[in-house]
Amino acid sequence: MALEVHLVTPEREVWVGMAEMLIAHGIDGDVGILGGHAPLLVQLAIGPVTVQLEGGGKLEAVVDGGFLHVGTHEGVTRADVLAAHAELKEEIDVEAARQALARLQNHDTHLAEAELASAKAELQKALARVNLAG
């Protein structure tokens, strides 16, 4: 069965197309979606999204959290990945991600609690990009 995938952010439609399978990283672990999947809503963690394309090949992206909604529209299973920020693998500036990762790994451990939480989230984002893009 076909699976229609929409990867969107508030700023843009990152990718739309037909797929065989979608794999995303939820806050409780990875989830795989195939055509015919039951309706579902998953809170996404910072991490990769992989789309197995029809006819072979794959599309990889990284999202900074968000939600995955699965439903049926006109008889076709549709998966909407709704993220605050998303980048396709080929869009990632690897050098900038590595620099951010190095800077964040050496951050001052005496930050206030709110600043520390923000720094940890930024570290996770940089690490996800480096892991995906190399």
Residue 67: which of 43, 31, 37, 32 has the closest Cα? Answer: 43
The pTM is what?
0.84
Contact 125, 46 (CB under 8 A): yes
The residue written with tokens 């800077």 in the block is: 103
Handedness of CA 124, 126, 132, 134 (dihedral sign): negative
Confidence of residue 126 (pLDDT cuts 50, 70, 90): confident
User: What count of Cα atoms within 13 Å lies in the side-chain half-sphere of residue 131?
Assistant: 13
pLDDT tens-digit readout, 50-109: 999 988 899 999 999 999 999 998 889 999 999 999 999 999 888 888 888 787 777 655
pLDDT tens-digit readout, 22-42: 999 999 999 999 999 999 999
pLDDT tens-digit readout, 44-63: 999 999 999 988 899 999 99
